[in-house]
Structure 1
Amino acid sequence: MSEPRESNAAGEKIAKVIARAGVCSRRDAERLVAEGRVKLDGKVLESPAERVRPGQIVLVDGKPIAEPEPSRLFRYHKPRGVLTAARDTDGRPTIYDTLPPSLPRLMPVGRLDINSEGLLLLTNDGELKRRLELPATGWIRRYKVRAFGEVTDEQLARLGKGITVEGVTYGPIEARLERVQGDNCWISMALREGKNREVRRVLGHLGLDVSRLIRLTYGPFQLGSLGKRLVEEVPPKVLREQLGGAIKKPVRERTRH
């Protein structure tokens, strides 16, 4: 997960600085620059490649960005029926409607669709979010799935070689039939890519209708016994051990909510 360090004299790219300040992700920061909403020392920026040197002032929508907060990571047990989004035009509840107001501004690492539940990582650091989402991390996501229909061990084993569904190629998936209950079956799945609706689309291709999808792990971080709608900060020591160079600043002590 290491990347070449940027010289302090040369500065850091503007999108990275904005992300580190917790304003948004690096990708969204690049969009803000493209929309002319970012100024550096009073000048509207035109390129996300612009570098910020120590002492320079960055404004987003006319407001100075905050000093970067220590990197923090939280485990959240997302329930079904809640969107992984900041807001919804249809008025459906989002994860932010369920989070305690005492928490800092947090961004989700990856997504879980509205009908999925389980572990969702949240961070205050847009650059850390980007690192954790990169396919290059190779982190395994584990799921427990309930689906309507029949499937064989042989069909699931073939997913280990990868599969292409409607023109989209998915990498190797470890899948195992756990048990059968009437017309439903429970399947354990592990994958590294986590493409949009990957589990549902792959199992749908096998003739299964997913009725429940629970994410149990994201890399080294586990849902464990964390109750629904509860959030707990990853201990600083664990964060440093797992992420190493991705953490540029010391993390705060653990808090529970």
Structure 2
Amino acid sequence: MSRGNEGSRGKSSGRQGGSKGAAGKGGNRRNAGSQDHKGSNSGRKAAPTKNTRGGKNQVIGTSRSGNPVTKKEYIDRKKKESKPSSKSDAKGIRLNKYIANSGICSRRDADIYIAAGSVTVNGKPVVEMGYKVQPSDEVKFDGRSIEPRKKEYLLLNKPKGFITPRSGEKASKTVHDLMANASESKLHYIGRLGRQSVGLMVFTSDINLSNKLNNPNQKLRKIYHVALDRSFKHEDLMKIRNGINIDGEVFKVEEISYVDGGKNNEIGLEVHSGKDNLVQRLFDAVGYEVKVLDRVVIGGLTKKDLPRGNYRYLTPQEIINLKMI
């Protein structure tokens, strides 16, 4: 038994010696490399052996300090690195959009004011196109603090005696007086009406929508109930239906007819053009004077449950429909 054991130990010793010799000669580079690696990491903590067979707790390497790194820690670190830093302006809003959202003017006009030095951010003029405003910034337009607000959309049933002023025009008793308490934002009208005209007008702080729908070439559906100074001849009705030449341009209405149950001087007509005073000009062209002009529909919106001189906020669906025009 003792000899067998000694022989076994001798064989084992020989194999170890052979292995060492091979390592010294470079024969067993794998073992040598493993021993060198262990030697170089002798001052570091050994990686734990548990939870290394997959899953989020699998150890996939070591950190610079020598600590083991799991798959979950690695993924979390990469996600953190991919997020913008706090100094980034990724969360900001472009200055021209910020101004437009405040209801002052369109983005295009905002760029002009920015270039002219009319806008300051935190007390300093900003003329840089594309500058992004952060939530904590204070923005002033011509010395007045502004901030973007949620866009608002309202419908007014305009009474007689109130003018719809054009840009820069000043007058007493304007439609803006009727809307003075409707919103803290600056409201822009859609669908101009004269002083003696009555009916529906849309007001909104969304200047881009108001510019779009006030464009003369934009097809915005409007229906009017008109009372003339005398009975309206059928032949004149057909003239308007077939198209009237006004200042070298032919205008056609979508529909024109006598009002059911009304007098012969009461006419209903539908137009889609945004030209100013178009209805009056159509009847002037065939020799009639408009005594009453009442807009009963604009962009699919009606006067139902809206008394004269009152306004109401549009429903979410009405806003969607208006934007789809």
- TM-score calculated relative to the size of structure 2: 0.59
Runs of at least 5 residues in structure 1 that lack an aligned partner in the other structure: 1-7, 247-257
Any residues of structure 2 matched to 1:173-252 within 5 Å, and which?
173-178=254-259, 181=263, 185-243=265-323
1:94 Cα shift?
1.3
- Work out which structure has the larger RCO, using CA pairs closer than 8 Å and 6 or more positions apart in sequence: 1
> Which of the two has greater strand per residue?
1
> Which of the two has greater helix per residue?
2
CA-atom RMSD, angstroms?
3.6
> Do 1:104 and 1:124's aligned partners in 2 also have CA atoms closer than 8 Å?
no
Aligned twin of 1:145: 226
Runs of at least 5 residues in structure 2 that lack an aligned partner in the other structure: 1-89
Return the alpha-carbon distance in structure 1 between the equivalents of residues 191 and 277 of structure 2: 12
Return the alpha-carbon distance in structure 1 between the equivalents of residues 111 and 285 of structure 2: 35
State the aligned residue count.
Answer: 229
> Do 2:151 and 2:206's aligned partners in 1 also have CA atoms closer than 8 Å?
yes
Return the alpha-carbon distance in structure 2 between the equivalents of residues 17 and 223 of structure 1: 34
> Do 2:221 and 2:271's aligned partners in 1 also have CA atoms closer than 8 Å?
yes
Aligned twin of 2:211: 130
Aligned twin of 1:107: 188
Return the alpha-carbon distance in structure 1 between the equivalents of residues 192 and 104 of structure 2: 18
Return the alpha-carbon distance in structure 2 between the equivalents of residues 71 and 186 of structure 1: 38
Give the counterpart letter for 1:236 in structure 2.
Answer: P
Return the alpha-carbon distance in structure 2 between the equivalents of residues 237 and 20 of structure 1: 21
Aligned twin of 1:255: none
Does the C-alpha gap of structure 1 residues 43 and 237 become closer, same or farther in structure 2, counting only changes over 3 Å? Answer: same
Aligned twin of 1:23: 104
Give the counterpart letter for 2:178 in structure 1.
Answer: T
1:195 Cα shift?
0.7
SS at match of 2:265: strand
> Do 1:145 and 1:214's aligned partners in 2 also have CA atoms closer than 8 Å?
yes
Query: Which one of 129, 151, 154 corresponds to residue 71 of structure 1?
Result: 151
Does the C-alpha gap of structure 1 residues 172 and 98 become closer, same or farther in structure 2, counting only changes over 3 Å? Answer: closer
Give the counterpart letter for 1:53 in structure 2.
Answer: K
Query: Which one of 62, 69, 89 corresponds to residue 143 of structure 2?
Result: 62
1:58 Cα shift?
5.1
Larger radius of gyration: 2
> Do 1:38 and 1:58's aligned partners in 2 also have CA atoms closer than 8 Å?
no
SS at match of 1:139: coil
Aligned twin of 1:97: 177
Give the fraction of aligned pairs with identical amino acids, expressed as a percent.
23
> Do 2:219 and 2:274's aligned partners in 1 also have CA atoms closer than 8 Å?
no
- For each residue in 1:37-76, what CA deviation from the matched residue of structure 2 results, as whole angstroms up to 9, or x when unmatched? 6336544759xxx545353875321234312x22221111
Does the C-alpha gap of structure 1 residues 62 and 190 become closer, same or farther in structure 2, counting only changes over 3 Å? Answer: same
Return the alpha-carbon distance in structure 2 between the equivalents of residues 13 and 135 of structure 1: 29
Does the C-alpha gap of structure 1 residues 44 and 238 become closer, same or farther in structure 2, counting only changes over 3 Å? Answer: same
- Which moves more between the two structures, 139-148 or 56-65? 56-65
Does the C-alpha gap of structure 1 residues 131 and 222 become closer, same or farther in structure 2, counting only changes over 3 Å? Answer: same
Does the C-alpha gap of structure 1 residues 224 and 102 become closer, same or farther in structure 2, counting only changes over 3 Å? Answer: closer
SS at match of 1:103: coil
Give the counterpart letter for 1:176 in structure 2.
Answer: S
